[in-house]
Amino acid sequence: MINATMIGFFTLSGLKDMTTKYRVTLFSLNLLCYCVILLVNVSLILTIILEEKLHKPMYIFLCNLCFNSLYGTAAFHPKFLFDLLADTHVISYAGCILQVFFIYCRADEIALLGCKLSQCMLKVMA
């Protein structure tokens, strides 16, 4: 017999101690940030796609970063917004792994941007 424990869900215990007033305030600010992120990224993507002059590698890279930002924030914000207003704060194991995967992919965006920045700095310095 193997001694193993199967974890089905995680409880987010940090949100239990917050009062309703703080939750609503945090929900409002987080929703505002999420809407601004969506608006800016979608407008940049549409501008790059619709404007023929912007079909250059630098702008395609910027468009790729916007897509990456969209699915990175879409992995975190909706669940967090839901948990702020819900009475029970749980996430399934599969949902947690999926969220970690998408947030990790978003962190990859920052690494890509850092590589691109260092490459540009080397070109300027040479």
Give me the pLDDT at residue 111, please: 73
Residue 102 in contact with residue 72, Cβ under 8 Å?
yes
Q: Average pLDDT for residues 69-90, to the nearest whole number?
A: 83
Residue 91 in contact with residue 14, Cβ under 8 Å?
no
Residue 26 in contact with residue 84, Cβ under 8 Å?
yes
Among 18-32, 38-52, 67-81, 94-108, where is mean pLDDT lowest?
94-108
- Higher-pLDDT residue of 96 and 50 is 50
Output the CA angle 50-55-61, nearest 5 degrees: 105
CB atoms within 10 A of CB 85: 10
Give me the pLDDT at residue 44, please: 94
Give me the pLDDT at residue 88, please: 76
Could you read off the pLDDT of 99-113 as tens digits, one per residue? Answer: 788 777 777 667 777
Q: With a cut of 80, say whether residue 26 has pLDDT above it.
A: yes
d(CA 20, CA 67): 34
Give me the pLDDT at residue 46, please: 95
Give me the pLDDT at residue 125, please: 66
Task: Give the max Cα distance, the chain.
Answer: 66
3-state secondary structure of 15: helix
d(CA 94, CA 79): 13
Strand partners, 92: 9
Among 15-19, 55-59, 68-72, 77-81, where is mean pLDDT lowest?
15-19
Q: What is the mean pLDDT of the chain?
A: 81
